[in-house]
Amino acid sequence: MMNFGSILNNNIMGNIKGLNQDSTFSDKVMVGLKIALRKMAEEAALNDESLVIGDKEGNVKWVPAKELLKTLPEK
């Protein structure tokens, strides 16, 4: 299971505006993934829902979306 924190806090993901036409395909995909995961967490938070995430050890956890949003970098 994927860990939101490790994906979203990756240095590649730090600055969406830093992407340009010379950015690698992988970098572009990772930025798109960051945007999609943030949007999913925001929508879940609006509905007071929880999301299932995996921690670094591979354990599955239910986390309230509002709490998860606090750990994610801004857009």
Q: What is the pLDDT of residue 61?
A: 93
pLDDT in tens, 20-73: 778 899 999 998 999 999 999 999 999 999 999 998 899 999 999 999 999 988
Residues 6+ apart with CB under 8 A from 45: 64, 65, 66, 68, 69
pLDDT in tens, 2-19: 455 555 555 444 555 667
